Structure 1
């Protein structure tokens, strides 16, 4: 197994740790930042999420630079991304930090695009992510991080940046999904 695939697998292995930190009521205390309280377990979860998210860029960069792109990597990389982001969003709903309807729309878009990619793959067509899809991913990751940090330091300025980022991520997620389907609808035609 090559290094990019090992990096991707390390991202997948961080997901259960991330889930545990946000699911189990660890009592490791609270940090007081800008007159706001942040559970230490949430800070550790944010660090793990940020590291796991960074590996997405790292494995892709390494695979392209050293020409180590494999079918296993093409399968694992998007799956790892979707598992990480979906787990984070679902946990945010469980923690009552994100509305369920927003998360349902975001995750539904991911399933729909994955389905389109599977149909395309069955026809031997590879559908690359567009710029809007990349922006979507960045917005989702930043929104999750700010939400898990309980909107610190923005809450001191009375700026609901967590909410702004979540809804921006939702809008770009839907937009990029629609754009992806419009651009690649030809894949849904009857096979030969």
Structure 2
């Protein structure tokens, strides 16, 4: 167990804490949940940086890092959909979660056929993640009352959903020759 892997495990362990804080009946609970989520999001960047810088990449880290990210984001989106309960948050949340399922399945299948490198993380995915994390930090930190910050959070989440679709198309396009070849062989 190295520092990058410990940070990834910490990210998973922070999930129940930000859920608990989100539901506490105090005026500061949203901001506290958002702060814990922001710390978890920062560890996502930090663990990757340290793994590369210290040359401490491991198979465990390569497995758990994307799982931790997806768990963290999916839980945050579910919490927000529940309290906001509107189209403007539910649609992008559904797009983001569905994309994560599709791309994860695609990456797994591509790895099985030895073509995982064709669906490596792209810049589209990095921009999507940045917009998504910022949107989630803003939305988790504010009660579901329409105001500047909530509207900004919705806007960033919609941008993130758009980038999510673009990055999914990018991955599917890269994988298409392999998908097509598999369909032609049947």
Partner of 1:131: 123
1:148 corresponds to 2:146: no
Q: Deviations over 1:8-41 (max 9, x none)?
A: 001000011112222x3x233x2xxxxxxxxx11
Change over 3 Å in CA distance of 1:94–1:50 after alignment to 2: same
Shift of the alpha carbon at 1:97? 5.8
TM-score normalised according to structure 2 size = 0.86
Structure 1 residue corresponding to 2:104, chosen from 91, 107, 114? 114
Q: Deviations over 1:54-105 (max 9, x none)?
A: 0011110111111111111111000000000111111100111653232111
TM-score normalised according to structure 1 size = 0.84
Tell me the secondary structure at the aligned position of residue 178 of structure 1: helix
> 1:69-80 counterparts in 2 under 5 A?
69-80=57-68
Counting strand residues as a fraction of each chain, which structure ranks higher? Answer: 1
Partner of 2:160: 169
Tell me the secondary structure at the aligned position of residue 84 of structure 2: coil
Partner of 1:17: 17
Partner of 2:80: 92
Tell me the secondary structure at the aligned position of residue 114 of structure 2: coil
Q: Deviations over 1:113-153 (max 9, x none)?
A: 000110122123333200000000011101111112328xx
1:175 & 1:149 partners in 2: Cα distance?
27
Change over 3 Å in CA distance of 1:163–1:64 after alignment to 2: same
Give aligned pairs, total.
177
Partner of 1:179: 170
Please tell me whether the aligned partners of residues 119 and 187 of structure 1 are also in contact (alpha carbons under 8 angstroms): no
> 1:2-81 counterparts in 2 under 5 A?
2-22=2-22, 24=23, 26-28=24-26, 30=27, 40-81=28-69
Partner of 1:105: 95
Counting helix residues as a fraction of each chain, which structure ranks higher? Answer: 2
Shift of the alpha carbon at 1:190? 2.9
